[in-house]
Structure 1
Amino acid sequence: MANEQKPHILVTGAAGALAQQVINRLRDDYHLVAVDFREQVYLGDDIPSYCIDFNKRVFEDLFRRYHFDGVIHLGRIMSSQLTPMRRYNANVLGTQKLLDLSHKYGIHRVVILSTYHVYGAIAYNPALIDEEAPLKSAGLSMDLVDSVELENLANIYLWRYPDLNISILRPCNIVGPGVRNSMSQLLASKRAPVMAGFSPMMQFIHIDDMADAIVLAYGQPRRGVFNVAPDDWVSYQHALTLCGCTRIPLPSVPPILPRSLLRLLNLRSFPSYLMDFFKYPVVIDGHTFRETFGFRPQRPLREIFRYYRETKHTL
C-alpha cells in the first residue's frame, strides 16, 4: 500500500497493552494516531501520540488535522480506576463526544470495546449468554453503571447513524502479558481470594487473540454487538490452581463481611463490586463473532495459565 494512500485510524486507550498490540498489527498498513485520557505514550516516530480529554475542544482539532477514516475506541476506563464522576465523564461523555465527532467528520468505521460485565452476575444466568440478553449490571452495582451507559450510548449511535458502521465488542476476561485488569492481577498474585462454596465457570481470552479479534473486526464493516470469547471455559478456583495461586477463602454472607475483609486485607485486585462475578457464572456465547469475522483463538487456556504460573517462579 503506497504511503500516501494509507487510511488514517484514531486508536484510543493508547497507554493500555491491548491498544499497543492492536497498533503494532496495524502500523504497516495504516496511518495511526494514538490518544489516551490518562497519559501520553511513545509508540515510535511514525505514530503521533496525545494525552487528551475527549471532552476538551482540542480533541476536535485531531479530526480536522488527520481526516480519520476510522476509529478504534479501546479507551474505556475500568471501574477500579478514577473516581465515579471522572470515570463517567471519560467513559460516557467522552464516548459521546467521540461518536459525535465521528459522525460530523464522516468517519465510516468505528469499533468500540465493551465488556462482558454489562450482563451482570446472578444465580439464574443462562448457561450461554448471547448478545440479545438484557444488560443487568446497572441494577446490581453502581460501579458498573458507566459501562452499561457506554454500551447503551453506542447502541443509540449504531442505529441512528448506520454510516458509522459501529461494531461493539463484549469480550470475556482479557488476560496475558501487560494486562492490568482485576482478573489478570488475581491470576498473577501468589495468594488470591475465593468466595467460600463458589467456583463459577469463567472464560479467558489471551491479549494476543483479543488484538487479533479487534483487527479482524475493523477490517470487516459489520454493524452490531458481538460477544468475543473462546468456546472453552474453566472454574475460577481451578484456574487459580493452574496459575499456581494459593486460594484464600472468604465467607460470602453477610455481604458486608467479605467487603470488610477485602478492605482489611487490602486486596484491591478483588474489588467488592465484582464479588458476584466470583459467585455466579457469566459464560458468554462467542459463536456469532467467530462465524461473522472468521475468528479462531490461537492461545489455549494451558498457555494462558502457564504464563502466570511461570511468572510467579521468576519473581
Structure 2
Amino acid sequence: MARTVLITGVSRHLGGACARRLSREESVERIIGVDVVPPRHGIGRAEFVRADIRSPLITRILTDNEVDTVVHMSVIATPAASGGRASQKEINVIGTMQLLAACQKAESLERLVVKSTAAVYGSSPKDPAMFKEEYSARRLPGGGWGRDSVEVEGYVRGFARRRPDVGITMLRFANVIGPRVRTAMTDLFSLPAVPLPLGYDARLQFVHEDDVADALTLAVTGPDVGTVNIAGDGIITASQAANIAGRPFISVPKPGAGLVSGMLQRVGMIDTGPDQLDLLTFGRGLDTTRMREEMGFEPRYTTRTAFESFAATLTHRRFFLGTAVRPSWMATEVAERAISAMDITGKKD
C-alpha cells in the first residue's frame, strides 16, 4: 500500500494531472512533487519540492521522506519544450539513470511506476497487427523520444534486477490526446492543413489525458503488473483523424513529408521528433488484453472519443483556405507553399 509517493515531472501537464488525481486517494498519506520549475497549475495536496532528478539532492529527498513509491514522469516527448534535442536526451536518459541510482539506495522504496510509451515498439511495414507487451520492435526508433524511451526501459529492467524487492509497473501509453494537453499529435492535427505521407493511411490509437491519470493512479494503488500497454479501444486512420478535426490533409511524398515537418517545427507550429513520421506512415496497434485482465483497468474513452474530445476544442478556430484565421504569416506561407504544390484530399469517413 502506497503511503508516501514521489512524482517526478510534476510541473508538466500530465504530472500535475497525476498529482491531482492521486490526491483524491485517501490511502495515500503524502504526495511529493518534484521538478526544476514551480508548477503553473494545481497539484492537489502534493507538496512541491524544487529539484532536478539529475542532482544528488534527489537521493536526500527519497531517504529523508521515507518515500515508498516513485512515479517517474520526467521522460519528455517534445524537444522544443525541453530546450532542444540535446537537452531532451539528457533529461530523459541521464535523468532516469540518476533517479534510478537514488532509488537503488532508498531502503524505504517498495514500488516504482514508470510512464513509458508505445513508441518503444517503433513503426515499420513488418510490424504485427497488434503489439503485445512481450513483442520487441521490428525496427527500433531512429531517434527522439522513442529512442530515449527504449533506453529508459532498459535502465528500469537493470534496476529491477538489482532491487528485486521493489515492485515495477511500466505503462506503455498510446499517443496521449485531449482538450488540455499539448503533444506532437495535437500540434499536427491543429495545423491549417495536415501533411500525411502519400500512399499511406496509418492506423492510430489514442489514450485520453484523463485515462492517463487514472491508469497511473491505479498503478500506484493496485497490484504490481510489470509492463502494460494502455490505449483506448479501436483505431482511427490518419485521414479520419484529419476529417474529425475538420482539417484538409495534404498528400506528401514520404521524403518530402520530413522536409515539411522540419519547416513546420522551425516556425514553431509543431514540436515533434523523427519517430512521428514513421508512425504517420506505418501506424501502430496495441494489444490491451493485459491492461484489462491483469491490471484491471478500463479506459473511459475509446480512441475515437478521445480524439473527438480534442477535436471539439478546434471548432472555434477551423481553418478554411482564403479566410483570415491564420496563426502567423510565416506558418501561412509554409502551408500555402505546400498546398500549392500538392493536391489536398478531404474525404469524409
1:101 is matched with 102
Q: Which position in structure 2 is the counterpart of 1:10?
A: 6
Pairing of 1:137-286 with structure 2 (within 5 A): 138=140, 140-143=141-144, 144-252=146-254, 255=255, 257-265=256-264, 266=267, 267-269=269-271, 271-286=273-288
**In structure 2, the residue corresponding to 1:15 is in which secondary structure?**
coil
- One-letter code aligned to 2:305: E
State whether residues 172 and 228 of structure 1, in contact with CA within 8 Å, keep that contact through their aligned partners in structure 2.
Answer: yes
How far apart, CA to CA, are the structure 1 residues paired with 2:310 and 2:121? 27
| TM-score scaled by length of structure 2 | 0.80
Secondary structure at 2:133 match in 1: coil
Please say if residues 188 and 308 of structure 1, whose CA atoms lie closer than 8 Å, have aligned partners that are also in contact: no
1:24 aligns with 2:20: yes
Identity of aligned residues (%): 27
Structure 2 residue identity aligned to 1:8:
T
Q: What amino acid is aligned across from residue 19 of structure 1 in structure 2?
A: G
Q: 1:274, 1:36 → 2: CA distance? A: 27
Q: Structure 1 residues 73 and 6, CA, compared in 2 at 3 Å: closer, same or farther?
A: closer
Q: Unmatched 5+ residue regions in structure 2?
A: 318-349
Post-superposition Cα deviations, 1:173-212, rounded to whole Å, max 9, x if no partner, equal: 1110221110122233442211111111111111111211
Measured at CA, do residues 45 and 238 of structure 1 come closer, stay the same or move farther in structure 2, by a change above 3 Å?
Answer: closer
- Quote how far apart the aligned CAs of 1:233 are: 0.9
Shifted more, 234-243 versus 127-136: the winner is: 127-136
Deviation at 1:313, TM superposition (A): 2.3
Shift of 1:167: 0.9
Q: Are 2:110 and 1:114 aligned?
A: no
Q: CA deviation at 1:47?
A: 2.6
| Counterpart Cα distance in 1 of 2:110 and 2:167 | 6
Q: 1:32, 1:103 → 2: CA distance?
A: 20
Contact 1:118–1:147 under 8 Å retained in 2 = yes
- Aligned AA (1:100): A
Partner Cα distance (1:52, 1:41) in 2? 12
CA change 1:59–1:136 in 2 (3 A) is: farther
In the aligned structure 1, how far is the partner of 2:54 from the partner of 2:15?
Answer: 21
TM-score when scaled to structure 1?
0.89
Q: Render the CA deviation track for 1:127-174: whole Å, top value 9, x for unaligned.
A: 011111114564x41324322100111112123322110111111111
CA distance in 2, matches of 1:269, 1:60: 32
Q: Provide the residue aligned with 2:38 in structure 1.
A: 40
What is the count of residue pairs matched by the alignment?
A: 306
Three-state SS of the structure 2 residue aligned to 1:162 is coil
After the TM superposition, which of the residue ranges 18-27 and 45-54 deviates more from structure 2?
45-54
C-alpha distance in structure 2 between counterparts of 1:184 and 1:129, whole Å: 24
**Contact preservation (8 Å) 1:262, 1:272:** no
1:275, distance to aligned residue in structure 2 (A): 0.9
Q: Give, in angstroms, the shift of residue 63 of structure 1.
A: 1.6
Query: What displacement does 1:309 show?
Result: 3.0
When the two chains are superposed, the root-mean-square deviation of aligned CA atoms in Å is: 2.3
